[in-house]
Amino acid sequence: MRKILSITIEHFHEKRWIFILFGLLMGFTGFIMITLVDFLDVSAYAVILETFPVEFVDLVGGFEAFTSPYGFVNVELFAFVWIFVGIFIVFVASGSALPSEVEDKTIDLILSKPISRSTYLMSKIFFLFLFVTTLMAVVFAFIGLGMMTSPTFIDYGLYWDRLLLVYIINVVHLGTLAMTALLFATITLNSKKTMGIALAIMFLMFFLGTLWHFLPDEQQFIKYFSTWFYLDTSDLFVQGIFDNFLRDLLVLLGVNMSLIVSSLLIFRRRDIPV
């Protein structure tokens, strides 16, 4: 365990600047989104939404998505801007995983030390989850600060339980993106291939999990195969409905565990070029 923590801290130290810069960027973005609510009459969007198909309205979270401050922030931040967070996590995971050591020809030197393959890979996993957890903590701290200083949010009500649950589900969901990249890193041992495959899967999951409303009824079951379907920030953040939170959390945790176990099994048996 001490070796895992040591390598994890070393990786985190190497990525500290990219962590700080992106954390501040996304934090300020969330803060600005909340500030915009004070200058917009979000309730006026209800009239416009009535002219759109019901499927589109459901896609963005219903009428409440634009007629409440929580709905506006959810659509603008967690629905659209959040895809860039996913891309960033895949980028970091692909660059921090095994291909970097393989391409630098240092993997044989690392594994020649008194450290097992499983221990080394677990240090990568610990680092990625620590990175995601702390990065989201910074971003959500800015969002919380924006809510505390927004007259519109204060008048509407500050629901910290909603923000906390959205933080938890986002951390676990982003973990699935990182673990997907890690899995394909153990398979390809190539950073570009890893990033390409992980991004392709991410976008496929995104479209299946968000656009399933437009599919015929007999095909809508496909939504259950997308991790983005279980990232239901609309119910949590906008509606304050927590009925499916435990189900979504357990499914995403199960996906993470499956990806981790698969990565460990593959890496133990993988022939590594030197």
- Tens digit of pLDDT for each residue in 104-162? 555 555 555 667 777 888 888 988 998 999 999 999 999 999 999 999 999 999 999 99
Q: CB neighbours of 81 closer than 8 A, spacing ≥ 6?
A: 26, 29, 33
Please check the confidence at residue 225 and state whether its pLDDT lies above 60: yes
> Each residue of 6-43: pLDDT tens digit?
767 776 777 778 888 988 999 999 999 899 888 876 66
Q: Please check whether residue 185 is in contact with residue 101, taking contact to mean a CB–CB distance below 8 angstroms.
A: no
Question: What's the pTM?
Answer: 0.87
Tell me, what's the pLDDT at 168?
A: 96
Q: Please check whether residue 107 is in contact with residue 274, taking contact to mean a CB–CB distance below 8 angstroms.
A: yes
Interatomic CA distance for residues 206 and 227, integer angstroms? 8
Tell me, what's the pLDDT at 211?
A: 81
Among the listed residues 122, 123, 117, the one whose alpha carbon sits nearest the alpha carbon of residue 268:
117
Q: Please check whether residue 99 is in contact with residue 194, taking contact to mean a CB–CB distance below 8 angstroms.
A: yes
pLDDT band at 258 (very low <50, low <70, confident <90, very high): very high
Q: Enter the DSSP assignment of 114.
A: S
Q: What size, in residues, is the chain?
A: 274
Give percent of the chain with pLDDT exceeding 70: 80
